[in-house]
Amino acid sequence: MALPISFDYGYLAPDVDFDEVTSYQDNVDLAHKKVTQGGGLGSDYLGWVDPGKIVSPEEVQKIKDLAKQIQDNSDVLVSIGIGGSYLGARAVIEAVAMPGQGPEVIFAGKSLSVHEHYGMLQRLHGKRFSIDAISKSGTTSEPAIAFRLFRDALERSVGKEEARKRIVATTDASKGALRKLATDEGYATLNIADDIGGRYSVLSPVGLLPIAVAGVDIDALLAGARDVAAACANPDVTKNPAYYYAAARNFLYMKGYTIEIFATFEPRLHYVAEWWKQLFGESEGKSHISFFPASVELTTDLHSMGQWIQQGRRTITETFVIVDGGEPNLLIPAADNNLDELDYLVGTSMAEVNKAAYHATALAHRDGGVPNSTVHMTTRDAYSMGALLYFFERACGVSGYLMGINPFNQPGVEAYKTNMFALLGKPKFEKETEAVNARLAALPKNTVVEF
Ligand code: PA5
């Protein structure tokens, strides 16, 4: 059976051509070996590579049972998490969930915004809700604060006893604050494996529970990922679109393209783009090398960012993610007059117009000096989505190794946290508090410009 994902590199030439990419096969083989057999940097975090092993059949059943329970007793699931503990679930739900197939899933703990959280708490008044608190470490500030807020609201709404039955903790199997709290309180729990980092965790219980609650077929999602993983056993770049993409983008980087734009013509892929940005940004953004991952939603952003892409600084490459079919047949209707000059499109499906916009844009951007490629998805369903997510995960692991970095750590994200804990006076951060306060005191004064 043909897989639902393919990669078209046509518009990468003349910047990167087929011969260059195929000449890179030895490096790709090495990166492939590191991803599949270990031996590379960060090799303790390869638990995502075989999607058939991320969750056992028993765990899948447990996730389905918990999802069913939440569907039966709740109008809303509050999924609490940030970064890798948030984006994958949201990406899949917004891309493929059908309204009414499950309770609404809302996402908390992904910011420290009062407005956002206050608004969500208000909206929950009078509604039956459950909580999935997702944090591998169990100590991340944003979800920890949100969990306090929503747990408190749930306990006030249904009482402590009942609240316990409506909370799931998705966290490390044995350590961390959330694990301890879950054990003490008797919450249902799902485990996050040690060898799977946040941004590679969408196909683990981290993503699967909220996705299942939203009514998405998680068996199909996992099957899509498994099938692409099986096909990735072949490292030949001419037979492996994920590896062709990984190799080509490394050439682009070496040739001075430093920004990669994820571009989609389907707004429902908005959070897939957000997920992709975290995947590549956190995996590759280190050692002061690598692409800046950006995204646009088209045709919307052709009316805002289109000018820049067409004629701005020539440091960008674009990766289109295009859904080839499966849209409802919405035809452009006839009208009493042709003042809008659309009569030539009467009876044409809107999907066809969107497709023409894609072809027109890819060509125009190529002409404007933007090397671009396209990841095609046959349709927008759970199976294709699993395939797409895995395509990018696999490409990211291989691409990171081709770049010579560790694609599985994220040491840089600690810097702001240390400053924040110091500023907030967190216990055990006394030295940092002193240092930050001294630095702030030494800053130039009166740097604010006021009207
Ligand atoms: O990809 C990552 O590792 C991060 O984005 C984490 O997922 C994020 O910081 C949340 O961490 P945790 O799940 O420990 O709360």
Pocket flag, ligand 1, residue 204 (CB < 6 Å): no
Pocket flag, ligand 1, residue 199 (CB < 6 Å): yes
Which residue from 136, 278, 410 has its CB within 8 A of the most atoms of ligand 1, so it is best to mutate? 136
Q: What is the pLDDT of residue 411?
A: 87
Q: How distant is the alpha carbon of residue 286 from its chain centre?
A: 19
Q: What is the pLDDT of residue 138?
A: 86
Q: Is 417 an active-site residue? A: yes
| Alpha helices (H) along 113-240 | 114-124, 141-158, 160-165, 177-185, 205-213, 218-231
Q: How far is the centre of ligand 1, averaged over its atoms, from the C-alpha of 239 (Å)?
A: 33
Preceding amide of 348 cis, omega within 30: no
The catalytic position among 115, 125, 288, 303 is 303
The candidate with the shortest Cα–Cα distance to 394, out of 83, 91, 14, 34, is 34
Determine the Cα–Cα distance for residues 390 and 388; give it in Å rounded to an integer: 5
Residues with Cβ within 8 Å of 114's Cβ and at least 6 positions away in sequence, in order, are none
In the sheet that holds 5-8, the strands lie side by side as 5-8, 372-379, 316-325, 259-264, 292-297
Q: What is the pLDDT of residue 263?
A: 98
262 and 427 in contact (C-beta within 8 Å)? no
Q: What is the pLDDT of residue 413?
A: 86
Which residue from 44, 79, 85, 179 has its CB within 8 A of the most atoms of ligand 1, so it is best to mutate? 85
Pocket flag, ligand 1, residue 393 (CB < 6 Å): no
Which residue from 44, 48, 82 has its CB within 8 A of the most atoms of ligand 1, so it is best to mutate? 82
Per-residue pLDDT of the chain (451 residues; tens, 9 = 90+): 689 999 999 999 999 999 999 999 999 999 999 999 999 999 999 999 999 999 999 999 999 999 999 999 999 999 999 999 999 999 999 999 998 899 999 999 999 999 999 999 999 999 999 999 999 988 899 999 999 999 999 999 999 999 999 999 999 999 999 999 999 999 999 999 999 999 999 999 999 999 999 999 999 999 999 999 999 999 999 999 999 999 999 999 999 999 999 999 999 999 999 999 999 999 999 988 889 999 999 999 999 999 999 999 999 999 999 999 999 999 999 999 999 999 999 999 999 999 999 999 999 999 999 999 999 999 999 999 999 999 999 999 999 999 999 999 998 888 898 999 999 999 999 999 999 999 999 999 989 999 9
Pocket flag, ligand 1, residue 135 (CB < 6 Å): yes
The candidate with the shortest Cα–Cα distance to 208, out of 193, 195, 186, is 193
Longest dimension (CA), the chain: 75
Residue ranges of domains in the chain? 5-43+223-403, 51-217
Tell me which fold the domain 51-217 belongs to: Rossmann fold (3.40.50)
User: What is residue 316's three-state secondary structure?
Assistant: strand
Determine the Cα–Cα distance for residues 25 and 41; give it in Å rounded to an integer: 20
Q: What is the pLDDT of residue 414?
A: 85
Burial of 201 (0-12, 13-18, 19+ CB in 10 A): buried
Pocket flag, ligand 1, residue 83 (CB < 6 Å): yes
Residue 279 CB coordination number (10 Å): 25
**From the alpha carbon of 410, which atom of ligand 1 is closest?**
3
Determine the Cα–Cα distance for residues 339 and 191; give it in Å rounded to an integer: 60
Q: Is 270 an active-site residue? A: no
Pocket flag, ligand 1, residue 197 (CB < 6 Å): yes
CATH code for the domain defined by 5-43+223-403: 3.40.50.10490
Q: What is the pLDDT of residue 131?
A: 98
Residue found under tokens 């001075």: 256
Q: How far is the centre of ligand 1, averaged over its atoms, from the C-alpha of 204 (Å)?
A: 14
| Alpha helices (H) along 196-269 | 205-213, 218-231, 241-254
**From the alpha carbon of 197, which atom of ligand 1 is closest?**
3
Fold: same for 5-43+223-403 and 51-217: yes
The catalytic position among 33, 64, 355, 417 is 417
